[in-house]
Structure 1
Amino acid sequence: AKEVSENGNATAEEVKTATDALNAAIKAKETQDASDKKAASLDALKAVQAQGNAIDEADYTPNSYAPLKDALTAAQNIIDNPED
C-alpha cells in the first residue's frame, strides 16, 4: 500500500488492490488482537478460579461461602462455554 501511495503513476486497479490488501490485513490484526485478549482473560479467570477453589468451604458459614460458590460456578460456566 505504501509503494502504491508513493507511486504517482499507479493505476486505479493497483490502488484498489493495495487498499483491499491493507483492509484485509487490518481486519486480520483486529481479529487476532480480540482472540489474544479473550485468551488472556480466560487465563486470568482460570487463575482466580483456582484460588477460589483452594478455599476450604468448611472454614466458612454457608451464608458467607455461598457468594463464592456462585462466583465459582459462573466462572466455570464461562470457562466451559467461552463463546457464550
Structure 2
Amino acid sequence: AQWQGMIAAAGFVESTVIYQGDVYIDFLNWTERMATPAANVQLIRTLFDGAPVEFRTVFKIAGNHNFCFTGAVIRATRP
C-alpha cells in the first residue's frame, strides 16, 4: 500500500502488484560487487550486529550478515 501511494502521488493510476517477495542479499558478494571499502564493510557489520531485534527480524539478518528485504514489481499506467 505504501508503494502504491507513492506511485499515485507520482501521477500513475491503476497500479497492480505483479510480484512481491523477499530479495536475498549475500553480504560478501554485495559488498564486493559495490566495491565497498573495508572500513565501511566492517561498519555495516557492526551496525547489523548492534541493530534492534525488530530491524534484524524484518531484514532477516543472518550470522554471516546476509539479509533480505521485500521487493516488488508493480505495473502502473499514466492517465
Larger relative contact order, structure 1 or 2 (CA cutoff 8 Å, min sep 6):
2
| TM-score between both structures, scaled by the size of structure 1 | 0.25
More helix by share: 1
Q: Find the structure with the greater CA-based Rg.
A: 1
| TM-score between both structures, scaled by the size of structure 2 | 0.27
